[in-house]
């Protein structure tokens, strides 16, 4: 059925967003050193993520250092960690819930109404997960933007958006869109009570004939 195909499309998009969130969270390139202005030193590039910072030398050598203390980290890094991990956890829950409620699975096939409600719940959890990740990536990206345009920030201390942010934004969009498709289509029942039990047409009693 068409709604079942739309379910599959929504689930596939949301699952791709789930994978993208995992990749974005583990990547180091959340922000990268900027070469704008008078900062023309290209002998090394500095990358920072949620868990470690790395320095890439022009000779090809890469050195990374894991952040030692959680409480000494900037607020946007701590918040990004919490929101991204929450989004990944919610996506994992949504995958299991939505799988039970999709029309292409055998679970709860005896109760179509309950199956639709479970699928809608899975789509809603996907949307919430995407919003959590959106908060993390937007907050982190906005802090990079503010520091970049701050006139008191030294030129060699300015950063620009890294690859992980772009992957995170794309993953958030896929998760929200996929979850929305699940919510919009899973609530539609294929038949409906009126279709299964049509109203009985009244019959007129046979009239005996008179001579």
Of the candidates 145, 134, 155, 139, the one whose C-alpha atom is nearest the C-alpha of residue 74 is 139
Query: For the whole prediction, is pTM greater than 0.85?
Result: no
Is 52 within the bounds of a domain?
A: no
Is 200 within the bounds of a domain?
A: no
Is 68 within the bounds of a domain?
A: no
Say whether pLDDT at 196 is over 50: no
Q: What is the mean pLDDT of residues 131-147?
A: 94
Q: Which domain holds residue 21?
A: 2-27+73-188
27: its two tokens: 């990547």
Is 22 within the bounds of a domain?
A: yes
**Of residues 195 and 129, more confidently modeled:** 129
Is 62 within the bounds of a domain?
A: no
**Of residues 143 and 58, more confidently modeled:** 143
Our count of domains for the chain comes to 1
Return the bridge partners of 46, or none: 55
**CA distance linking residue 41 with residue 37, whole number of Å:** 11
Which of 58-62, 71-75, 143-147, 163-167 comes out lowest in average pLDDT?
Answer: 58-62
**Residue 195: what pLDDT?**
42
Confidence category of residue 176, pLDDT binned at 50, 70, 90: very high
pLDDT above 90: percentage of residues in the chain: 48
**Residue 4: what pLDDT?**
76
Is 42 within the bounds of a domain?
A: no
Say whether pLDDT at 90 is over 60: yes
Highest mean pLDDT range out of 33-42, 43-52, 127-136?
A: 127-136
Which of 77-81, 111-115, 127-131 comes out lowest in average pLDDT?
Answer: 111-115
Residue that is written with structure tokens 């500095």 in the block: 46
Residue that is written with structure tokens 């050195």 in the block: 63
Which of 24-28, 37-41, 115-119, 182-186 comes out lowest in average pLDDT?
Answer: 37-41
Say whether pLDDT at 138 is over 70: yes
- Which three-class secondary structure state does DSSP give residue 21? helix
Q: What is the mean pLDDT of residues 110-136?
A: 91
What is the full DSSP assignment across 77-129? HHHHHHHHHHHHHHHHHHHHHHHHHSTTS-TTTT-HHHHHHHHHHHHHHHHHH
**CA distance linking residue 198 with residue 67, whole number of Å:** 67
State the CATH number of the domain containing residue 84: 1.20.140.150
Is 199 within the bounds of a domain?
A: no
Highest mean pLDDT range out of 29-33, 67-71, 174-178?
A: 174-178
Is 207 within the bounds of a domain?
A: no
Confidence category of residue 114, pLDDT binned at 50, 70, 90: confident
């Amino acid at each position: 059925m068409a709604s079942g195909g739309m379910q599959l499309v929504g689930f596939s998009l949301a699952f791709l967003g789930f994978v993208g969130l995992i990749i974005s969270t583990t990547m180091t390139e959340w922000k990268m050193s900027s070469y704008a202005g008078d900062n023309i030193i290209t002998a090394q590039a500095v990358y920072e993520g949620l868990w470690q910072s790395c320095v890439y030398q022009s000779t090809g050598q890469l050195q990374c250092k894991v952040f030692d203390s959680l409480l000494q980290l900037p607020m946007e890094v701590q918040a990004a960690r919490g929101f991204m991990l929450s989004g990944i956890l919610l996506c994992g829950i949504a995958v299991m819930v939505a799988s039970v409620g999709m029309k292409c699975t055998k679970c709860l096939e005896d109760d179509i109404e309950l199956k639709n409600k479970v699928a809608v719940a899975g789509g809603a959890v996907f949307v919430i997960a995407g919003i959590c990740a959106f908060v993390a990536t937007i907050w982190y990206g906005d802090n990079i933007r503010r520091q970049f345009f701050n006139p008191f920030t030294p030129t060699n201390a300015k950063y620009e958006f890294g690859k992980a942010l772009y992957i995170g934004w794309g993953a958030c969009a896929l998760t929200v869109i996929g979850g929305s498709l699940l919510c919009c289509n899973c609530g539609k029942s294929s038949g409906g009570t009126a279709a299964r039990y049509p109203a009985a047409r009244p019959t007129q009693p046979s009239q005996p004939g008179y001579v």
